[in-house]
Amino acid sequence: MSKQTEMRSRELTAILEEVVGGGAPADLAQRVSERLRNMPRRRGPSYLLAAAVLLGGVGVVFATAKQQAGDERFEGAAPAVAQDPMQQDPKSVSLQIQLVEANSKTEAGSERKVAWRVGSSKIASLEALGKELHRIASDPESQREHVLAGGAKRRELMPLIVRPAPGVKWNDVLAATDAAMAAGFGEIDWEQFDTAAIVFKGVASTPAEERELPLPKVVFQAPDDAPNKLRPTINVYRDGSIAHDGDPLFATVAGQPAELERLRARLRELRTRLLSAGEVTLQGRKTLNVPLLIRAHRGVEWSHVQRLLQIAHEPEIGFRKIEIAVASSGQGAKVDRAELVK
């Protein structure tokens, strides 16, 4: 089949599917608007992102949405055509996670694997990714000058931005992040995710919970000791459905637009409850000081977790502290760190 014929064939298929099945989801324009509204301003204050390893490299914290780097990626000159969205930002290290489909003929049902791209290097295994990240982290060229309060200057490693492609699984995002942590990156972003402080918490699960909702495994995790008693827990299942306290709040239905109002309403309700419980720190402005624990199935698509994170950060909901449940290393789920740092 010629490329022209293939193009026409795809066009006809798309048009027929729209005619007899339906076009763009009804809420897509609204979701795009919301997302654009929540985007950090161009050239706005640069949120510093950070990741800190706690207690000899056990805990990990991320602050994301240092949007300046992301903005500058798209500050190219070409006025009429889009820049290659994958062009590199010289002030950060870009780690792309790409979906490799063993059967590229169809998307549905094909075997899914991931590959990584760091700068211009294609990487096929997690082990090779760890080595490449180590190489970059050790390269003096990867250092940048950071001006401290008071004007003193310090050289430090560039931030790293994890950019998962559509379809990439949650486990893949955490594994890549873990590899970056092992390589020594202290500042790690997740692309398209606004300001956040995220902590990986090693959460103990019962065998039944482990069967129902297996958690991802990471090396860099903090123990979930003495968690805030008011902390709400949101479960995200493999199919993307979301529940709180056993109540289903969102379910994906093929071909149907995402109905997220129930989820939003519950999160707003939780916020109100937490505010009325006095969990507010007054420092001139109101602040919600209770974290939200997200227990996401390790095989769920990243986009489902990403959507929940975005909603949790919406101004009228405002969970700024997010804790990510990972398999507790004390439960035999510990990943061999050597696998990541070889």
Partner 1 sequence: MRTFAAIHAPVPIASAGEPQAPSPPAEMVEIEPLVAGLFRFLRCLGASRELADDLLQEAFVVAWRKGKQALPERALASFLRRAARLLWLEHRRDARRTEAAISALALQVWETEITDDGGELVASARACVQRLRGRAAAAIDLAYARGSSREQIAKELGMAPNGVKTLLARTRAWLEQCIRRKS
- Closest CB 22 distance from partner 1, rounded Å: 8
226 scored as a contact of partner 1 (CB under 8 A): no
Query: Does residue 84 interact with partner 1 by CB under 8 A?
Result: yes
Question: Does residue number 63 form part of the binding site for partner 1 (CB under 8 A)?
Answer: yes
Q: Where are the alpha helices (DSSP H) in 139-260?
A: 170-183, 207-212
18 near partner 1, judged by CB under 8 A: yes
Residue of 46, 57, 75, 88 that binds partner 1 (CB under 8 A): 75
> At its nearest, how many Å lie between partner 1 and the CB of residue 332?
26
Pairing of strands 61-64, 196-203: antiparallel
Query: Could you count the other beta carbons within 10 Å of the beta carbon of residue 70?
Result: 18
Segment 191 to 210, residues that bind partner 1, using CB under 8 A:
192, 195, 197
Nearer to partner 1, 227 or 318 (CB): 318
The conformation of residue 75, written as its DSSP 8-state character, comes to -
When asked if residue 289 is in the footprint of partner 1 (CB under 8 A), the reply is yes
Rule CB under 8 A: choose which of 56, 150, 255, 332 binds partner 1: 255
The region that residue 131 occupies, defined by phi over 0 for left and psi between -120 and 50 for alpha, beta otherwise, is alpha
Which of the 8 DSSP states describes residue 158? P
- Closer CB to partner 1, residue 17 or residue 259? 17
- Distance separating alpha carbons of residues 48 and 65, to the nearest angstrom: 8
Nearer to partner 1, 156 or 210 (CB): 156
58 binds partner 1 (CB under 8 A): no
Residue 315 near partner 1 by CB under 8 A: yes
Residues 231, 290 contacting (CB under 8 angstroms) = yes
Q: Total number of residues binding partner 1 (CB under 8 A)?
A: 86
| Residues sharing a CB contact under 8 Å with residue 22, sequence separation 6 or more, in sequence order | 255
* One residue of 303, 331, 337, 341 binding partner 1 per CB under 8 A: 303
Closest distance of CB 62 from partner 1, Å: 8
Task: Name the segment binding partner 1 (CB under 8 A); options: 24-32, 134-142, 172-180, 229-237.
Answer: 24-32
Residue 36 within binding range of partner 1, rule CB under 8 A: yes
List the one residue out of 162, 178, 181, 158 whose CA is nearest residue 98: 162
Question: 210 or 279: whose CB is closer to partner 1?
Answer: 279
Residues 28/159, Cβ–Cβ less than 8 Å: no
Q: Does 11 bind partner 1 (CB under 8 A)?
A: yes
Please pick, from the candidates 46, 86, 261, 342, the single residue that binds partner 1 as defined by CB under 8 A. Answer: 86
Of 222, 229, 176, which Cα lies nearest the Cα of 197?
A: 222
3-state secondary structure of 266: helix
Residue 187 vs residues 164, 176, 183, 194: alpha-carbon distances, Å? 17, 14, 12, 14
How far apart (Å, rounded) are the C-alpha atoms in residues 229 and 237? Answer: 23
For 286, other C-beta atoms within 10 Å of its C-beta total 11
**Closest distance between partner 1 and the C-beta of residue 303, in Å?**
6
Q: Which stretch binds partner 1 (CB under 8 A): 39-47, 130-138, 203-211, 334-342?
A: 39-47
| 71 is a site residue for partner 1 (CB under 8 A) | yes
Q: Name the 3-class secondary structure at 94.
A: strand
Identity of the residue, 211 or 285, whose beta carbon is nearer to partner 1 in the bound complex? 285
